[in-house]
Amino acid sequence: MALAYMLKHRGFPGRLPGTDFQFTLRRANPKGATEITRRERRSDRRAPDKRADEAFFKALWETFGEEPFERGNLDAGRLSWFFGREVIPATDPFDPADYEAMLKIDMRSARQSFPAIVGE
């Protein structure tokens, strides 16, 4: 079985420092990429979860800005908290289970959710 190609985003933080909140993968899953699915962020989430959200989104913004980016080694679980809101498909058709899938930041949603990071 051939290994799946997975771009590694050099310089992107691997996790939230001092926690087990993972941001990136070390290696591709030989069975294929985990599908990105939309997860709802509720207002009553715990403070550590909110810090992880902010840190991950800040890393996305500082690394990619408004430019489309390849999913690569970004963690599917972490991306799923943003998918369909702040992070949207950059191509049509879009395969949510592909390491090479292209994503982009939705500026309107990002400004509403993270104005301190993106600006208004």
Tens-digit pLDDT profile for residues 47-81: 999 999 999 999 999 999 999 999 999 999 999 99
- Average pLDDT over every residue of 75-93: 96
The span from the CA of 100 to the CA of 68, in Å, is 12
Q: What is the pLDDT of residue 26?
A: 86
Strand arrangement, sheet containing 69-70: 69-70, 102-105, 87-89
- State yes or no: pLDDT of 120 exceeds 60: yes
The span from the CA of 13 to the CA of 91, in Å, is 25
Q: Map out the domains of the chain as residue ranges.
A: 48-114
Residue with tokens 């950059």: 90
- Average pLDDT over every residue of 14-24: 90
Please name the residues in contact with 31: beta carbons below 8 A apart, sequence gap of 6 or more. none
Report yes or no: 59 and 12 within 8 Å, Cβ to Cβ: yes
Residue with tokens 């080694």: 73
Report yes or no: 110 and 62 within 8 Å, Cβ to Cβ: no
Task: Name the pTM for this structure.
Answer: 0.90
- The least confident of 27-31, 32-36, 46-50, 88-92 is 27-31
Query: Using 50, 70 and 90 to split pLDDT, how confident is the model at 1?
Result: very low
